[in-house]
Amino acid sequence: MRSIVRLGVGGVILRALLLRSCALRRSVSKMAASSGRVLKSFVQGCCGCSSVILPSIARNVILQKPAVTVLARLVCTSSTLQRKNIAAAGPEKYTQEFIKKQIEEFNIGKRHLANMMGEDPETFTQEGIDRAIAYLFPSGLFEKRARPVMKHPDEIFPKQRAVQWGEDGRPFHFLFYTGKQSYYSLMHDTFGKFLDIQKYQDRMRAEGLFSQETKQVNLIGSRWMIKEELEEILVQPISDHDCLRFIQLLERILALPYCSMEEEYIQRFRRALEVQSKKQKIEPLQYDENEVAFSTGEGRRKTATATTIVRDNGSGNITVNGVDYLHYFPVLQDREQLMFPFQFLDRLGKHDMECKVTGGGRSAQAGAIRLATARALLSFVTENEVESMRQAGLLTPDPRVKERQKPGQEGARRKFTWNKR
């Protein structure tokens, strides 16, 4: 409690800082100021305290007022004595008023912080708040999440579900008593669409206008939603089984001949697949003094890095670090690696290649040059060929590196010789 005394004795600035910091206390998870820490630990220590007025504190803090001795004993209890299972209550619930109050306090604290830092309170952004907190409460903790933070209460307190029933107790949603109202209501609506299509089909059959050749829903280039995306839409956790059931129902709808009636509804649950080949950055062709087209590429493998220049109108000459490839790579396997991109594109004798390579070993350098060549050749080649190169694996950098040695073992995997005694 010495820290509280320090508060009473200390200057206005310290008191002001502490007041403001107490306003920020809910938002600031750990206070560098020791008084806050003591207060927090005091609260944590006596979690079940019924009356905690210590006349000694009162006397220390209130300098002007007479010490009003309140007749109260310090009763320290703990959860075990009160037989309260705190964990069974679940995560702490916050009322709307509490959250609103927190938001007000946050805004006031933000303005105070802006004043403290000498910035304009109106245009004080979250980055400014982060900088201010890092400056005022410097923390050397390694865990970023343990450092003091001041964020909008909506980001700190978990989202609570609004109360699902009215004042008379009647729930708003007709499927409330199932427990998973949004999911089952979605299933209900989707099945309703299925029945509508069937009714339409029956009507067409009755009128004799039924035909199998109807417009089909285009499913190419898209995929079904995954469980996480569905949970986001429903704002409610669901299981894998539920998600599977829902997708099966949608597939059943798609199996009907007149499914295009509800195409819009179904497309809501499909997500576009990203076209992988579009991610390749293809440099445009460059031309040198003799108007010969050339292109550069870079590649890495293990610890080797290679840069290549591939020229057009060539005859298949390859130079590596100023040396002919036959001399640099005496092993056939490495030369095959160099040759593979050209062979794949049927351009074996048409290009000249000049490359520089450092680091790694024999195989690693060969692999690095191969990747660099493939990337250089992208500029000479059509889109379909780019896609086929990607599928062949020519454009994928090999992620394998040397695995580290672990303590207690001789190598990465090899264990020490086992001794029976």
Closest approach of another protein to the CB of residue 160, in Å:
10
Closest approach of another protein to the CB of residue 210, in Å:
24
Q: Which of 294, 306, 317, 316 has the alpha carbon at shortest distance from 356?
A: 306
Closer to another protein by CB, 251 or 410: give it: 251
Q: Which of 44, 80, 85, 95: binder of another protein (CB under 8 A)? A: 95
157 binds another protein (CB under 8 A): no
Q: Which of 34, 41, 50, 115: binder of another protein (CB under 8 A)? A: 50
| Site map 180..219 versus another protein, x via CB under 8 A | x---x---x--xx--x------------------------
313 contacts: CB under 8 Å, gap ≥ 6: 292, 293, 350
Distance between CA atoms of residues 203 and 208, nearest Å = 8
Closer to another protein by CB, 58 or 282: give it: 58
172 binds another protein (CB under 8 A): no
Q: Which of 143, 168, 228, 240: binder of another protein (CB under 8 A)? A: 168
Closest approach of another protein to the CB of residue 145, in Å:
24
Q: Which of 145, 159, 170, 327: binder of another protein (CB under 8 A)? A: 170
User: Among 52-60, 204-212, 274-282, 407-415, which window interacts with another protein (CB under 8 A)?
Assistant: 52-60
70 binds another protein (CB under 8 A): yes
Burial of 364 from C-beta contacts in 10 A (0-12 / 13-18 / 19+): buried
Q: Which of 376, 319, 313 has the alpha carbon at shortest distance from 349?
A: 313
* Segment 1 to 40, residues that bind another protein, using CB under 8 A: 7-8, 18-19, 22, 25, 39
In angstroms, what CA-CA distances link 223 with 117, 220, 228, 264, 272?
50, 8, 14, 15, 6
Q: Can you spell out the DSSP letters for 239-299?
A: -HHHHHHHHHHHHHHHHSTTGGGGHHHHHTTEEEPPPGGGGS-PPPPEE-TT--EEEEEEE
Angle formed by the axes of helices 362-377 and 332-344, nearest 10°: 10
- Residue 362: enclosing H or E segment and its boundaries? helix 362-377
Report the chain's terminal Cα–Cα distance, integer Å. 60
Collapsing DSSP to helix, strand or coil, 300 comes out as strand
237 binds another protein (CB under 8 A): no
Q: Which of 178, 222, 358, 405: binder of another protein (CB under 8 A)? A: 178
68 binds another protein (CB under 8 A): yes
Distance between CA atoms of residues 74 and 58, nearest Å = 14
Query: Total residues at the site for another protein (CB under 8 A)?
Result: 48
Distance between CA atoms of residues 22 and 169, nearest Å = 39
* Segment 335 to 364, residues that bind another protein, using CB under 8 A: none
Q: β-pairing, 318-320 with 222-224?
A: unpaired
Where along the sequence are the contacts to another protein (CB under 8 A)? 7-8, 18-19, 22, 25, 39, 42-43, 49-53, 57, 61-62, 65, 68, 70, 72, 93-95, 97-98, 101, 161, 163-165, 167-171, 174-180, 184, 188, 191-192, 195
